[in-house]
Amino acid sequence: MSGVAPDRVQLRRAREQLEGWKYGARDAAFSDFFETADPALTTEDLRLLDEIDSDLTRRDGSGLWGADEYGIVSEGPLDADTPLVVCTYHPEIPDQEYRGAAGLDEATRETFNEVLWEYCERVAGHIQSELEAFLEPTRSD
């Protein structure tokens, strides 16, 4: 192994860990956003977001929470020595179905979608930390 960039075997092993890292990262990101002194959404807004998630899950099975997807990118324009974790799917509240429904105006829908986007990016950041810790022992070889 080169000591600079991880090889294919190490990347494959990291990708095998991704699903497990995702669950802990989601919990951490949820705490970061909603379980603080200054949460990203009020309790009422979070309850409404949960209701929308439940409704979407009943409709098509995907919902909002847990629908986000992540990948590990090992090559790209940044030429980074460390692979990057990226969110490959950011869930969002559909435009037509919820505008004016369930007490959700367009501004609130946009706010919720922005919070969901930032939440997913925070999850990716937590997974990135896990990836770097996983790769660290190979960096000293």
Can you give the residue range of the structural domain that contains 64? 8-139
The 10s digit of each residue's pLDDT in 86-125 is 999 999 998 876 654 566 888 999 999 999 999 999 999 9
DSSP 90-116: -----HHHHTTSTT--HHHHHHHHHHH
- Does any domain span residue 87? yes
In a domain, 15, yes or no: yes
CA 136, CA 3: separation in Å to the nearest integer?
10
d(CA 109, CA 93): 7
Domain assignment present for residue 1? The answer is: no
- Domain assignment present for 84: yes
85 is a domain residue? yes
Domain count, the chain: 1
How do residues 30-65 score in pLDDT, each as one tens digit? Answer: 999 999 999 999 999 999 999 999 988 998 888 999
Residue 28's Cβ-count burial label (10 Å; 0-12, 13-18, 19+) is middle
The predicted model scores a pTM of 0.85
Quote the DSSP letter at residue 65.
T
In a domain, 52, yes or no: yes
In a domain, 78, yes or no: yes
H/E stretch holding 89: strand 84-89
Tell me, yes or no, whether 3 lies in a domain. no
